[in-house]
Amino acid sequence: MSVLSVSNQHDSDVLMVRPGKWTLTVVTLLREQTMRFNEIKRVGGISQKTLTMTLRELERDGFVTRTMFATIPPRVDYQLTELGRELLDLADGLRRFAERNREQVLAARERFDASGGEPAIRLVHAE
């Protein structure tokens, strides 16, 4: 899934940010410093394949830069771009939202699970 997709609707462009499952985790990890691939993998608990795909999407969309060093073994560093720092604002907003609404979400999940996933039936009488 692309982090950023642009589609044409008539003559205007619609910009839509659709972060993948690990996108905001990686962006958040890169908040303070440049990190190597294995550092991100270790700290984030992300599989190698998923991290590779996530970093490629982030680099493609301009959120992350990748710097390769000609060393043995090869070294690759990742860091946020200015655009990536702006995406970090979104990650922070989602974290604050989750913190504010944690209890409501947990209660909703409990109600849903207790009902066996069936919607609550509400009878509404037309007047």
CATH topology for the 4-114 domain: Arc Repressor Mutant, subunit A (1.10.10)
On whether the CB atoms of residues 37 and 78 are closer than 8 A, the answer is: yes
**pTM greater than the 0.85 cutoff:** no
Please report, in tens digits, the pLDDT of each residue of the chain (127 residues total): 444 444 455 444 445 556 678 888 899 999 999 999 999 999 878 999 999 999 999 999 999 999 999 999 889 999 999 999 998 888 889 889 989 999 999 999 998 898 887 776 777 777 7
Residue of 115, 38, 126 whose CA lies nearest to 75: 38
